[in-house]
Amino acid sequence: MLCTFIYFMSLQNIKYLFLSILTIGFCSLSYAEGKKIDHIAIVDMQRVEKDSVAVKALLVDLEKKEKYYQDLIKKMENEISNKREEIESKRNIWSSQKIEDERKKAENMINDYQSKVTNFANNMDSIKNSALNEINAIMKDVIGDIGKDQNFDIVMPSNILMYYGDNVSDITDSVVSKLNKKIKKVDISDKK
């Protein structure tokens, strides 16, 4: 039955199940060594992401950057279309050599277009990942600081736990508050 259960779980859920098993193993090992795990905290990472001022600002900036790239792409598409129309309209006027030269220019424009579209997509992914890594690094520091200040033995994401009792503290509000004080915006203008 467990095999059937795991089969139907997504890879993400399997990762969380694995992390839960590791955490339980860690807690058991610590308990066996005489270290009692009394203070456990959880963080709702989805809520932190949703309520983070920096993430909200990042999404706005990414939309602006995407719009900029879409405008560039549209301009290039128009140039290619205009070049094709020019070739077609002057087919009877130009020499065969001139037509061939203009077709090569159009092919080069298309190749350049395809390359730039790929580069734009890669650049957007890189910018997003770099900015999120910056936010995540600060978030980890915030979680670590709260964990130390409040003497928690373990702080873990709430979505990997299937059950937790009354002795578990939810520090999500504190994490959001301190994260929003530490970082309001990530500058993506210098990211590639």
CB atoms within 10 A of CB 61: 19
Inside any domain, residue 69: yes
* Domains of the chain: total: 2
What's 94's DSSP letter?
S
Do both 28 and 106 map to the same domain?
Answer: no
Quick check: 8 pLDDT over 50? no
Q: Is 132 exposed, middle or buried (0-12, 13-18, 19+ CB in 10 A)?
A: middle
pLDDT tens profile 125-152: 999 999 999 999 999 999 999 999 999 8
**Which domain does 63 fall in, by range?**
38-182
134: tokens are: 């910056």
In 3-state terms, what secondary structure has residue 41? Answer: strand
Alpha-carbon distance of 160 to 156, in angstroms, equals: 8
* pLDDT value of position 161: 72
Do both 33 and 67 map to the same domain?
Answer: no
Inside any domain, residue 141: yes
Do both 125 and 30 map to the same domain?
Answer: no
pLDDT tens profile 20-77: 555 555 454 444 455 666 788 899 999 999 999 999 999 999 999 999 999 999 999 9
Which pairing describes strands 154-157 and 40-43: parallel, antiparallel, or unpaired?
parallel
Inside any domain, residue 192: no
